[in-house]
Amino acid sequence: MFNPVQLPSNAELDKQWRSFDWGQKKYIKEKLENFCPSHPDVKDIKILVTGPVGGGKSSFINSVDSASLGRISSRALVDSDICGPVFTQKLKGFPIRSEKKRLPFILKDVMGLLSEAFEGPQPEDIINAVFGHVKDGYKFNEKQPFNFKDQQFNCDPKLSDQSFCLVYVISAITVQYTDDRLIDKMKLIRQRISEKGIPQVVIMTQVDNVCLLVKNDLRKVYSSKKIKEKMELCSAKLGVPLTNIFPVKNYHNEIDTEDDIDVLILKAFEQIVQLADDRLKDSENY
């Protein structure tokens, strides 16, 4: 006899642990479309997206673009080079668009982080990219960190070259198994850029694949006990406060956008933009 999968009796909390308005999609889209960076010398707010290989960096960038544009976009995947286990090889910026216009935001994709000491981009590579020393198109050398002798090193970056928020994209599936060596790399990056006041956000992807409650109904994400535990674990491992951790479902095999996926993505992106612009306002203090 067939026995359907049953959820544990305590899988859903009595009330949402984070208040969330599922009807705010239109409001957020309008807010982003009308947004202007707070500094006259900065036309586009740049945001660097990093994280472990396989966490969904490029998919998150595409999902932000899709939710804003109103149709499925896959620019980050199409424009990246495939090489072994690492998908993204080069630093590349992706302007975000809406149905009406190009928005003043650029999400910068980089090579995914690896646990091994001399594989993947080194912490200094990510730090230099945040501070605007790395030009678009730079192909990361896994054997040698980026340095000032490279012709693509920007010795004197302008304010407009810099990123004003660093986003870590981490899979909810693997967060508890993340190698300590990789955590150490991420903590080093976090410490160095925190000295310059750069805010950091965690995007936790694949939440629908770790919780049946959420898989059946994405609106249960903030009443899921398992998702809350995953986010608390992520906060403890990386030192990023829960207020800066956002659970999302990236677009993967969908051919049309969906409101519930969009609103989670757009709300996380709106918070990222606000944090980045707050740092931009304080740029003269660093």
Mean pLDDT per block of 10 residues along the chain (286 residues) reads 50 93 98 96 96 91 96 71 55 94 96 81 91 86 65 86 97 92 93 96 96 96 97 95 97 94 98 98 88
Strand order in the sheet with 102-109: 92-97, 102-109, 45-50, 163-171, 200-205, 245-247
Is 146 in contact with 138 (CB distance < 8 Å)?
yes
Position 76 scores a pLDDT of: 78
> CA 101, 106, 109: angle at the middle one, nearest 5?
135
Give tens-digit pLDDT for 242-276. Answer: 999 999 999 988 999 999 999 999 999 999 999 99
Domain boundaries, given as residue ranges, for the chain: 43-207+240-280
Q: How many CB atoms lie within 10 A of CB 15?
A: 8
Tokens representing residue 85 in the block:
């286990």
Domain 43-207+240-280 has CATH 1.10.760.10: no
Is 121 in contact with 147 (CB distance < 8 Å)?
no
What pTM, to 2 d.p., does this model score?
Answer: 0.91
Helix (H, G, I), strand (E, B) or coil at 104: strand
